[in-house]
């Protein structure tokens, strides 16, 4: 039972993180909007950058991208919350039933990895060269977030021990 409770708590902790990330971005919209604006504008990449044609300088695109980030954060929290609830309801069930209850948590973790690895590391980090910016580089934070989600996914997907 300890492993089951640990899995449930881990999913709840990640739910809280994703929910707070989304809510913080709504409640203090401008704080991270500046981050998105500067990354997409590529305004602090290396001088004479040959990839500046990728820069996006239209405010409506900045807002759209930021709203998509917020939506994905909230969708992640929602799926993880559903997953935590499913896991909690089946905590005393058979191993097979508990394994089946992992579906929403797995989807939520997939969304988290998609957002913080693909969105921040691949798109922002490499396509928009965020790694070149001394001020607007969120790769370390993104790495912490997606590696935590990945570790949780690996732990969650471990089969439940069968009684011998």
Nearest by Cα to 13 from 114, 112, 157, 158:
112
In a domain? residue 78:
yes
Which domain range does residue 9 map to?
2-157
Rounded CA gap, 54 and 155, in Å? 38
The whole-number pLDDT of residue 160 equals 77
In a domain? residue 92:
yes
In a domain? residue 121:
yes
**Mean of pLDDT over the chain:** 95
In a domain? residue 74:
yes
pLDDT tens-digit map of 98-132: 999 999 999 999 999 999 999 999 999 999 999 99
In a domain? residue 30:
yes
In a domain? residue 162:
no
Q: How many domains does the chain have?
A: 1
The parts of the chain modelled with pLDDT lower than 70 are 162-164
Rounded CA gap, 39 and 138, in Å? 9
Rounded CA gap, 105 and 54, in Å? 35
Rounded CA gap, 81 and 92, in Å? 19
In a domain? residue 82:
yes
In a domain? residue 101:
yes
Neighbours of 122 (CB within 10 A): 12
The whole-number pLDDT of residue 54 equals 96
Stated pTM of the model: 0.92
């Amino acid at each position: 039972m300890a492993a089951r409770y640990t899995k449930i708590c881990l999913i709840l902790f990640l739910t809280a993180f994703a929910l707070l990330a989304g809510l913080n971005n709504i409640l203090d919209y401008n704080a991270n909007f500046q981050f998105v604006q500067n990354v997409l504008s590529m305004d602090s990449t290396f001088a004479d950058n040959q990839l500046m044609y990728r820069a996006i300088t239209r405010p409506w695109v900045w807002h759209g991208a930021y709203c998509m980030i917020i939506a994905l954060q909230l969708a992640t929290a929602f799926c993880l919350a559903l997953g935590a609830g499913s896991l909690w309801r089946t905590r005393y069930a058979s191993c097979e039933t508990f394994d089946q209850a992992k579906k929403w948590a797995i989807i939520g973790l997939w969304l988290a990895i998609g957002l913080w690895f693909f969105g921040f590391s691949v798109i922002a980090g490499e396509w928009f060269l965020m790694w070149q910016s001394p001020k607007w580089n969120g790769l370390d934070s993104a790495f912490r977030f997606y590696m935590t989600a990945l570790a949780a996914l690996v732990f969650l997907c471990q089969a439940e021990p069968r009684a011998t």
